[in-house]
A and B are shown apart, each in its own frame.
Chain A
Amino acid sequence: MLPYIARRLALSLLTVFLALSLMFGVLHLSGDPVLLLVPTDSTPEYIERVRVQWGFNDPLWVQYGRFISRAALGDFGVSLRYNIPALQLVLERLPATGLLTLVSIVFAVVVGVPLGFLAAIRNGSLADRLSNVGSVLGQSVPSFWLGLLLILLFSVNLGLLPTGGMGTPEQLILPGLTLGLYSLGRIVKLTRSSVLEVLRAEYVRTARAKGLSERVVLYRHVLKNAGIPIVTIIGLQMSGLLGGAIVVETIFAWPGLGRLIVQSIQFRDFPTALAAVFFTAASVSLVNLIVDLLYGLLNPRIVYE
């Protein structure tokens, strides 16, 4: 097991390194950030001086080498916009996004898994059909529109909840709901289909045949075995949630990583964008590793090599 974890960690590290390199290349292709930093009436000499000062005059590979060797030590450079270390800026924003995604995924799981389970054991019923329609709808409605509609209803018309910002628990409700509904549909759908599949398994028939109560069959045999794909999809949702956070945080003025990514790309704040990408890629890889390890707990037949 330990060699497996070590190998996976090494692979994750490689993935994160490549992701950073890709992002570095893409961002630097987007042009020279110096022109956005200096006042519009700057003299060419001044622009050149700033460029030398920030190291943007060096060949790209020199800049890349410098960036990677410093990033390996945790130094992503100084934010071009806020003039504080990019890492510090990202770390300040990280808890906000963590809180938002955690609330969303908890909401989606707590609501979605029972709904999907119910839909499966009452296959074909009204509840099943309603949850099916709901999950298809939930996946089709773009989160930025859903967010706007929720603001329109609960903030503008009813005046119940704040339109944005962070600080009070009420301010968490609308963004959390917006982001959570995105995952909810998938979780319902997947729970339903994996429970249905397990219900057809031989061991469920055996369990029923030996006279176990339906409750025991459903909870001990069905739910536990159906849990494996459900755990996977929760892991896969991480990347989607972090992406969704980019849009949702912008709508609700939530001071998290997603909004920071949008702003830093907008302002060509390369160090900040790269530090933020590092954390998103690293957390996605880490969550995927944890999910793979959870497999083993849920299904002892899986052996790590």
Chain B
Amino acid sequence: MSEVLDSGLSGKRSGETSANWRVELPQRRLLRRLRLRGDSAWGIAAGLFLALEVVLAIAAPLLAGYDPLRANVDQRLLAPGSPGHWLGTDQLGRDVLARLLFGARVSLLVGGVAVFFAGTVGVIIGLAMGYRGGWLDIVGSRIVDVQLSFPFMALALSIAAVLGAGLGAIIATLAISSWVLYARLVRGEVLVMKRAEFVEAARSIGSPGWRLVLRHVLPNVVGPAIALASLEAGRLIVAESSLSFLGYGIQPPIPAWGNMLAEGKDYMAKAWWLTVYPGLAVSLTCLATSLLGDWLTELLDPRARR
């Protein structure tokens, strides 16, 4: 099918190609529909992959076969495929697969919970800013602008310096650094929604403000917010591993993908697997959340649907 289309547009750049372009519209439409279905397949596959990761992370103690913290000097830096250690061992003789599985718990928990808090707070504040307007909107918009005016990592690093290391601190750091995105998104949606006829109608029959927001505005902005949350989950998992990598996140010996990488990079020349596997885990997770997020955006965000 795509060959037909190709010959139409890109084969020759002459006047007649534009005629083909119009003629082939039905095929194009079909192709687009097919591609949408293809996108759905990717989105669903990504969702299943993430679900599988969650199951693996929860079942880590059953699957790992090793204590992720137990060092074994006799078995240091075994290459992947060594008997009993599929993915090899690290510089202290700890099983890499076990540490990856337990690391998944940290990374997924941090990403998930931080997105949940950032999303909830951001949506509520965005709703209030958009609906109330006035000084709340002025102050809120300024905070959003200020937070977006300096790089995410610089803000996250300094907040992490205040809150210290540990699971709760890193979750709070990421949530504080990222809620503004939801607030900005939802505020924009609400400003449009406020003038929608059905909201106008509800207001005219005397529906109180909070009810308007909860019943009529919120359901319409929650879709884009969920799509954003999915995209953000991956970004926050990457941010968590970046912070751990820079020494501000989860502290060793507790396994997290970022600190595994940070420790592994010193042995890069001798043991590539310590650098490759944790990074692969982060990348695949982020890839899955962004595929899922793209699909959800198409599905839930009315403006993206064309």
A interface residues, Cβ below 8 angstroms from B: 14-16, 18-19, 22-23, 26-27, 29-31, 121-126, 136-137, 139-142, 144-145, 148-149, 151-152, 156, 208-209, 211, 213-215, 217-218, 239-240, 242-247, 250, 261-262, 265-266, 268, 273, 276-277, 280-281, 284-285
Contact of B5 among A124, A144, A243, A273 (CB under 8 A): A124
Q: Decide if B275 touches A242 in the complex (CB within 8 Å).
A: no
Residues of A contacting B153 with CB < 8 Å?
Answer: 243-244, 246-247
Query: Other than the known A142-B238, A148-B261, what 16 A-B pairs have Cβ atoms closer than 8 Å?
Result: A14-B142, A19-B150, A27-B161, A121-B9, A136-B290, A136-B294, A142-B283, A149-B275, A149-B276, A208-B21, A211-B15, A213-B15, A214-B17, A240-B151, A243-B151, A244-B151
Residues of A contacting B1 with CB < 8 Å?
Answer: 124
Q: Is B2 an interface residue (CB 8 A)?
A: yes
Q: Decide if B6 touches A18 in the complex (CB within 8 Å).
A: no
Q: List 24 A-B contacts (CB under 8 A).
A: A19-B146, A22-B146, A22-B147, A23-B150, A29-B162, A122-B6, A122-B10, A124-B6, A125-B10, A136-B290, A140-B286, A142-B282, A144-B245, A148-B268, A156-B269, A208-B21, A214-B13, A214-B14, A215-B13, A243-B152, A245-B151, A273-B158, A280-B150, A285-B149
Contact of A140 among B5, B159, B234, B242 (CB under 8 A): B234
Residues A148 and B14 in contact in the complex (CB < 8 Å), given A123-B9, A246-B157, A265-B161: no
Most chain B CB neighbours (cut-off 10 Å) among A145, A265, A266: A145
Q: Decide if B279 touches A145 in the complex (CB within 8 Å).
A: yes
CA distance in complex: A165, B153 (Å): 22
CA distance in complex: A247, B239 (Å): 10
CB distance from B169 to the nearest CB of A (A): 12
CB distance from A60 to the nearest CB of B (A): 14
Contact of B275 among A27, A152, A276 (CB under 8 A): A152
Residue of A nearest to B150 (CB): A281
CA distance in complex: A300, B269 (Å): 56
B interface residues, Cβ below 8 angstroms from A: 1-2, 5-6, 9-10, 12-15, 17-18, 21, 31, 35, 142-143, 145-155, 157-159, 161-162, 234, 238, 241-242, 245-247, 261, 265, 268-269, 272, 275-276, 279, 282-284, 286-287, 290-291, 294
Residues of A contacting B154 with CB < 8 Å?
Answer: 242-243, 246, 261, 276-277, 280
Residues of A contacting B5 with CB < 8 Å?
Answer: 123-125
Q: Decide if A15 touches B15 in the complex (CB within 8 Å).
A: no
**Which 3 A-B residue pairs are closest in the complex by CB-CB distance?**
A243-B151, A145-B279, A214-B13
CB distance from A37 to the nearest CB of B (A): 16
Residues of A contacting B146 with CB < 8 Å?
Answer: 15, 18-19, 22
Residue of B nearest to A238 (CB): B151
Residue of A nearest to B148 (CB): A239
Residue of A nearest to B16 (CB): A214
Contact of B283 among A140, A242, A284 (CB under 8 A): A140
Residues of A contacting B294 with CB < 8 Å?
Answer: 136
CB distance from B269 to the nearest CB of A (A): 5
CB distance from B146 to the nearest CB of A (A): 4
CB distance from B54 to the nearest CB of A (A): 18
Residues A122 and B9 in contact in the complex (CB < 8 Å), given A14-B142, A277-B150: yes
Residues of B contacting A122 with CB < 8 Å?
Answer: 6, 9-10
Interface of chain A, helix or strand or loop or mixed? helix
Q: Decide if A125 touches B2 in the complex (CB within 8 Å).
A: yes
Q: Decide if A27 touches B234 in the complex (CB within 8 Å).
A: no
CA distance in complex: A149, B280 (Å): 11
Interface of chain B, helix or strand or loop or mixed? helix
Residues of B contacting A266 with CB < 8 Å?
Answer: 161, 247
Contact of A16 among B149, B241, B287 (CB under 8 A): B149
CB distance from A62 to the nearest CB of B (A): 21
Residues of B contacting A261 with CB < 8 Å?
Answer: 154, 157
CA distance in complex: A284, B275 (Å): 33
Residues A124 and B31 in contact in the complex (CB < 8 Å), given A136-B291, A140-B287: yes
CA distance in complex: A144, B241 (Å): 9
Residues of A contacting B272 with CB < 8 Å?
Answer: 152
Contact of B162 among A26, A125, A281 (CB under 8 A): A26
Q: Decide if A247 touches B242 in the complex (CB within 8 Å).
A: yes
Q: Decide if B14 touches A239 in the complex (CB within 8 Å).
A: no
CA distance in complex: A239, B155 (Å): 12
Q: Decide if A145 touches B162 in the complex (CB within 8 Å).
A: no
CB distance from B261 to the nearest CB of A (A): 7
Residue of B nearest to A214 (CB): B13
Residue of B nearest to A209 (CB): B18
CB distance from B44 to the nearest CB of A (A): 16
CA distance in complex: A256, B143 (Å): 28
CA distance in complex: A217, B19 (Å): 14
CB distance from A170 to the nearest CB of B (A): 19
Q: Decide if A148 touches B13 in the complex (CB within 8 Å).
A: no
CA distance in complex: A268, B276 (Å): 33
CA distance in complex: A246, B155 (Å): 11
Residues of A contacting B238 with CB < 8 Å?
Answer: 142
Contact of A15 among B145, B151, B265, B268 (CB under 8 A): B145
Q: Decide if A142 touches B286 in the complex (CB within 8 Å).
A: yes
Residues of B contacting A124 with CB < 8 Å?
Answer: 1-2, 5-6, 31, 35
Residues of B contacting A211 with CB < 8 Å?
Answer: 15
Residues A246 and B10 in contact in the complex (CB < 8 Å), given A18-B146, A144-B242: no
Contact of B246 among A15, A242, A245, A247 (CB under 8 A): A247
